Structure 1
Amino acid sequence: MGLKNLIKLKPKETILKVSKDEPEEEARKRSYHETGFRDSSRNMGNPQTLSICLDAIYAKFENEEKELKHKQEELKKPYTQEQNAKESEIKGFQVAIDNADENIKQKEAKNQDIDYTIKELKFEITDLPLNPSVYGVPAKKGASAKFWIGLVLLVPITAYLFTFYTSVVYSAMEKQFTYDDQRWYVPNAIVKASEDGFQALATVIFAPFIFIGLGYLIHMFYQKKKLASYFKLAGVVLVTLVFDVLLAFFVEKKLWELNVVDENAKFGFAEAMESQEFWLIIFLGFIAYLIWGFIFDFVMEEHKEKDKIKNAIRKRHDQIIIYKEQIRDNKAKIDEIKALVRDIKEKISMAKGRINELQRIVDGTIIPTKEYMFYASEYLQGWLTFINEKLSISRSENDRLISECLEVNKHHLDNVGVRQDYQNTVFTQTF
């Protein structure tokens, strides 16, 4: 008795709830109930026949739903809305791709401009030493050649001054002249001085740097081009001349003392000036010193001109390095943008696929699963009502028949895609 009440009462509760809100639906469900009762009476409640009848009922329900245009539009509305959203999303993606393509074109054009600039800088690096004024570099044309010529002359003169003054200083301060050796020029003065001790060696080696230092001062004072500097320059030249005179005087005094006959005779500057070697020492040292000083000044001035060109070339090399770094950065950004475009295109492809899928849904039929479950339940209730009320069979046979009908109904609902957790079932094509 419990199973009979369950079959009869539960659908009535459902009909009651629906009838409060939708009277038309109540009439439709009643029609399904009556059809189930009638079909069951014709087939004596046969479960195999129920399966065929349920398929026919589902086809009837599907046709009814297809005819309800407004209802189908409402059911398909979420899908059309999603379709419109996907289309808008594709438009947004396309705008993003257009912007990305434009960005890529700008960066590629910028890289081309930078490449052209780099080529110009490389040409300037080659042409700048020949035509510095064309590029706004205040340097003399050919400064590099003059610098190297001056440097070539300066090196042997420096070596000459060093050997000359080591000889003169050694002769004036350390050498003991003899009748067999009266030469004031001593090529191996450093070796001789080392035999006399460290002090003699240091004096002979470092004394020439005094004259080289005085020659450097010629450059320092001469480049300032001021009256005070010229006075200082004259003072430096005068001091060097006095130094040379004193060295020549001491050398000549040693030679005079070696050869003097009269012990009461005295040697002074007047006697020294009468000696040819006195003047030879002065001119060989002082004139070479002046030549060294002015050539050094010339080399340093030319080096400034050379540095101007070198700095201009270095600046262009640095610019090329910066520009190449910019090209690398732009290429890296272009690669990033291209990767982003590929991702966007994949999303567009997925969105188009979803739009096609949604279109098939919109073109198909949407079956309200929960509603059909109620209608199928009404039909089954009518079928079982006949079995319970009109079919004269034993109790056990009745229960068996009802159980088989319930199993057939369950199998049918599974076949047509009815699920308790689905509100609707979407079919892209009808049965």
Structure 2
Amino acid sequence: MMGLKDLVKLKPKETVIQIKDEQPNEEARKRTYHEAGYRDSSRNTGNSQTLSICLDAIYAKFENEEKELQHKQEELKKPYAQEQLEKESEIKGFQVAIDNANEKIAHNEDKNQDVEKLIKELKFEITDLPQNPDAYGIPAKQGASTKFWIGIGALIPITIYLFMFYTSVVYSAMIREFTYGSTKIFAPKSIVRAWESGFQDFATVIFAPFIFIGLGYLIHMFYQKKNIASYFKLAAIIVVTLIFDILLAFFIERKLWELNAVSLKDKFGFAEAIKSQEFWLIIFLGFIVYLIWGFIFDFVMEEHKEKDKIKNAIRKRNEQITLHKEQIHDNKTKIDEVRVLIQEIKEKISKAKGRINELQRIIDGTIIPTKEYKLYASEYLQGWLTFINEKLVISKFENDKLISECLEISKAHLAKIGVREDYHNTIFTKTH
């Protein structure tokens, strides 16, 4: 075994040629390493433990040689410098994307502010519109809603009255048989008695009032057109209704007259009817109330129309508010999406900056081509083993054992310095 004195015989600085700042010839460099291995092996009688120290020294010398090859270092660092430029350009692109995204956010926020102002204006208009419809270009009367409900309040009882009145009058005029015990013009239970008389009588009594209600509706239809033809039709409707009422009153009066007639030769005509107070009472209670109903109905419909103008205007504004709120929601969704995108871009920028810093440390540091070193280390090992095989006088068993130990030492050395099949270079970054 080799002692400490034998180990100190090794002078690594003499084993490797000096390399200038230029790319050496590969074959010459390989030969130099081979010769150095042979020489060091001869000095140390091929000792495997000494080989480990020599390999460390060889690697240190290789590092120094590579550091001095400035042109080669620049070539090795070119991909990292190029990647650094690409990352810087990528960051600029990311920054432009963030600026554009912020502009979109600002644009959508401005739009939302404008839309919120519109919503406030529409809400104010909804409140103010019933009181000042003319201010919004709506030809509607102020207080139309109040007048409408007042008209409805008057129209409903009058309609009930007309229904009860005409069911009673029609029953008395067309179906009822007067007796000495029942001489009243109106029949309180006309509907019940008409039902008892048969379905036809019942239908006549029930549907007759709707004739007058229909005629009253026609008053509204003709009156709203405001032309001469409509006025003539309106006058005709009123005359027809008057004639109808006169006939009903005449038939009732004739039945009462016949009940009290002294002689069968006496006849009842219109001359006799107009002298009767009941005759005029029936016309007044029927025809005059019918006219009142017709004009109130027309008034209610007109107010309803005015009320509808305001109601439609309010409805349209509510629909606009709904659409504006949906627009605000959509804009907020877009803003949130853009903010998420900005955050993702910022994370990418952060990663890119981290990579740039890492690349800068690589550029400022040293790149050792470990794959090349493996080639030269193999040459050095071959020189070492050549001496063992050619010059060292030992048994074949000891020779094989020593070679095996040297191979293991070399393998461990390469693993220690990080030589791998998938790595071409070892990077020593600059530390601060």
Q: TM-score, normalised by structure 1?
A: 0.92
Determine the C-alpha separation between the residues in 1 that align with 2:270 and 2:85: 117
Identity of aligned residues (%): 76
Show the 5 A alignment for 1:359-378: 359-378=360-379
The equivalent residue for 1:201 is 202
Deviates more, 1:45-54 or 1:417-426: 417-426
AA in 2 matched with 1:26? E
The equivalent residue for 1:358 is 359
Show the 5 A alignment for 1:165-244: 165-244=166-245
The equivalent residue for 2:405 is 404
Paired residues, number: 409
Determine the C-alpha separation between the residues in 2 that align with 1:84 and 1:170: 107
1:93 is paired with a residue of what secondary structure?
helix
Q: CA deviation at 1:394?
A: 2.2
AA in 2 matched with 1:415? K
Determine the C-alpha separation between the residues in 1 that align with 2:113 and 2:189: 67
Deviates more, 1:98-107 or 1:283-292: 98-107
Determine the C-alpha separation between the residues in 2 that align with 1:274 and 1:105: 89
1:426 is paired with a residue of what secondary structure?
strand
Q: CA deviation at 1:30?
A: 2.1
1:263 is paired with a residue of what secondary structure?
coil
The equivalent residue for 1:37 is 38
Determine the C-alpha separation between the residues in 1 that align with 2:69 and 2:171: 129
The equivalent residue for 2:6 is none
2:25 is paired with a residue of what secondary structure?
helix
Q: CA deviation at 1:81?
A: 1.1
The equivalent residue for 1:124 is 125
Q: Deviations over 1:241-263 (max 9, x none)?
A: 10001000000000000000011
Determine the C-alpha separation between the residues in 1 that align with 2:112 and 2:132: 29
Q: Deviations over 1:35-80 (max 9, x none)?
A: 2122112211111011011001101101111111111111111111
Deviates more, 1:102-111 or 1:351-360: 351-360
Q: CA deviation at 1:429?
A: 5.7
Show the 5 A alignment for 1:23-172: 24-172=25-173
Determine the C-alpha separation between the residues in 2 that align with 1:229 and 1:251: 33
Q: CA deviation at 1:353?
A: 2.1
**Unaligned regions of 5+ residues in structure 2, if any?**
1-22
Determine the C-alpha separation between the residues in 2 that align with 1:104 and 1:268: 92
AA in 1 matched with 2:306? E
2:367 is paired with a residue of what secondary structure?
strand
Determine the C-alpha separation between the residues in 2 that align with 1:159 and 1:307: 26
Q: TM-score, normalised by structure 2?
A: 0.91
Show the 5 A alignment for 1:337-348: 337-348=338-349
The equivalent residue for 2:8 is none
1:421 is paired with a residue of what secondary structure?
coil
Show the 5 A alignment for 1:259-408: 259-408=260-409
Q: CA deviation at 1:372?
A: 0.8
The equivalent residue for 1:19 is none
Structure 1 segments of 4 or more deviating over 4 A?
none
Determine the C-alpha separation between the residues in 1 that align with 2:304 and 2:421: 95
AA in 1 matched with 2:259? L
Determine the C-alpha separation between the residues in 1 that align with 2:24 and 2:331: 70
1:44 is paired with a residue of what secondary structure?
coil
Deviates more, 1:348-357 or 1:102-111: 348-357
1:306 is paired with a residue of what secondary structure?
helix
Determine the C-alpha separation between the residues in 1 that align with 2:427 and 2:192: 113
Q: Deviations over 1:284-308 (max 9, x none)?
A: 1111111111111111111111000
Q: Deviations over 1:101-127 (max 9, x none)?
A: 221121122112211211111111111
Q: Hey, which of these two has a bigger chunk of helix by percent?
A: 1
The equivalent residue for 2:257 is 256
Deviates more, 1:121-130 or 1:352-361: 352-361
Q: CA deviation at 1:230?
A: 0.9
